[in-house]
Structure 1
Amino acid sequence: MNYPPSTQRLEFRCWTSDDLRLALTLWGDPQVTALIGGPFTEEAVARRLSTEMSCMQEHHVQYWPIFLLESGEHAGCAGLRPYDVDQQVYELGVHLRHKFWGQGLAIEAGRAVINYGFDSLNASALFAGHHPRNEMSRKFLLKLGFTYTHDELYPPTGLNHPSYRLSRR
């Protein structure tokens, strides 16, 4: 399997070229993308989708789309991307459609991705960052066990973002 196993409420799969409409409901939403430079145009979302599929081909990771097990509804994405390939460090990312905020799905997806990164990919550590004004992301990362390490420039926003690390258990 090339993605994390299902959790109690979520299932993962890989993005396909047929997923543009799903991707638009996520990255085209101004509430979801307010702090990462969005909302994104259909063309920008198509490029993002292509980037995710290329990342899967090249590095065997992506921000996998996630779906509710009970209904099959698309809830967002959660996954990894290469951060420091030589050191086997991956970057964790979770984007949920705003209707699913506050339900614990980000934590559930994040834990599944963390376990997959360490157990299946043999990651040495995971990196994550967030917009300086995104208090919910800060709490999310701390709850997952990440430790603040430094601020790092995030080119899409032009800001130094708080950055975190989770070392292999």
Structure 2
Amino acid sequence: MKVILQTERTYLREFLPSDAEFFYSLNLDPEVIRYTGDAPFANIAEAEAFIEAYDQYRVNGYGRWAVCSKDDDSFMGFCGLKYHPDEDLTEVGFRFYRELWNQGFATETAKACIKLGFEEFNLAAIYAHADRENHGSIRVLEKCGLSFVKPIEYDGHMANLYRLLKEDYDAN
């Protein structure tokens, strides 16, 4: 198991095939995927195929990572960086089980991923897309220092584009 980083309450690691059941149940909750544009996995085997085909660590050196509790090693969701070649940008993103919402896990892990992106991967900027109605994610992005750039259409939804420049990160 490759641990990427640790926060006060969590550690982030690369996805494992054994995470398939957790991915399946995470995406089964319609509220969790409400603003993502993703459909739920049809079954655990489909989630396992997704994990097995996930090549972002090899291709980009980073990706989304499983977020696990330091207390009991339980899978909580995921957070990390994703490169979008069509837009030539890297975004921070997160998804957690609904029972973990409003406990600061998204902010805690997103801040750690942003730090990693700037300090280890030397990114010039980190972006995020958020559906305009997804007020919880927007609050997380703002707490992480990202600022509104412009309205966009993303995955067929009206969304907002946010950005944090490395020089602004360094200044704070």
Shift of 1:38: 4.5
Q: Give structure 1 stretches of 5+ with no counterpart.
A: none
Matched with 1:138 is 138
From the superposition, tell whether residues 92 and 20 of structure 1 become closer, same or farther in structure 2 (CA, over 3 Å): same
Matched with 2:98 is 98
Shift of 1:104: 0.7
Question: What is the aligned-residue RMSD (CA, Å)?
Answer: 2.3
Shift of 1:73: 1.2
Structure 2 SS opposite 1:31: coil
From the superposition, tell whether residues 48 and 154 of structure 1 become closer, same or farther in structure 2 (CA, over 3 Å): farther
1:30-49 map, 5 Å: 30-41=30-41, 42=43, 45-46=47-48, 48-49=50-51
From the superposition, tell whether residues 34 and 11 of structure 1 become closer, same or farther in structure 2 (CA, over 3 Å): same
Percent pairwise identity: 23
1:71-90 map, 5 Å: 71-83=72-84, 89-90=89-90
Structure 2 counterpart of 1:49, one-letter code: I
Matched with 2:162 is 164
From the superposition, tell whether residues 47 and 28 of structure 1 become closer, same or farther in structure 2 (CA, over 3 Å): farther
Q: Give structure 2 stretches of 5+ with no counterpart.
A: none
Matched with 2:5 is 5
State the 4+ residue runs in structure 1 displaced beyond 4 angstroms: 84-87
Distance in 2 between residues matched to 1:77 and 1:29, nearest whole Å: 15
Q: Residue 79 of structure 2 contacts residue 95 of structure 2 at CA under 8 Å; is this kept in 1?
A: yes
Matched with 2:56 is 55
Shift of 1:68: 0.7
Deviations 1:46-103 (A, max 9, x none): 454345x21112111111000110111111100001135996x411001011111111
| TM score, norm. by length of structure 2 | 0.86
From the superposition, tell whether residues 144 and 133 of structure 1 become closer, same or farther in structure 2 (CA, over 3 Å): same
Q: Residue 4 of structure 1 contacts residue 116 of structure 1 at CA under 8 Å; is this kept in 2?
A: no
Matched with 2:117 is 117
Distance in 2 between residues matched to 1:34 and 1:160, nearest whole Å: 13
Structure 1 SS opposite 2:142: helix
Matched with 1:66 is 67
Distance in 2 between residues matched to 1:135 and 1:48, nearest whole Å: 28
Distance in 1 between residues matched to 2:118 and 2:87, nearest whole Å: 15
Q: Residue 3 of structure 1 contacts residue 64 of structure 1 at CA under 8 Å; is this kept in 2?
A: no
From the superposition, tell whether residues 149 and 19 of structure 1 become closer, same or farther in structure 2 (CA, over 3 Å): same
With 35-44 and 66-75 compared, the bigger mean Cα shift is at 35-44
Q: Residue 29 of structure 1 contacts residue 39 of structure 1 at CA under 8 Å; is this kept in 2?
A: no
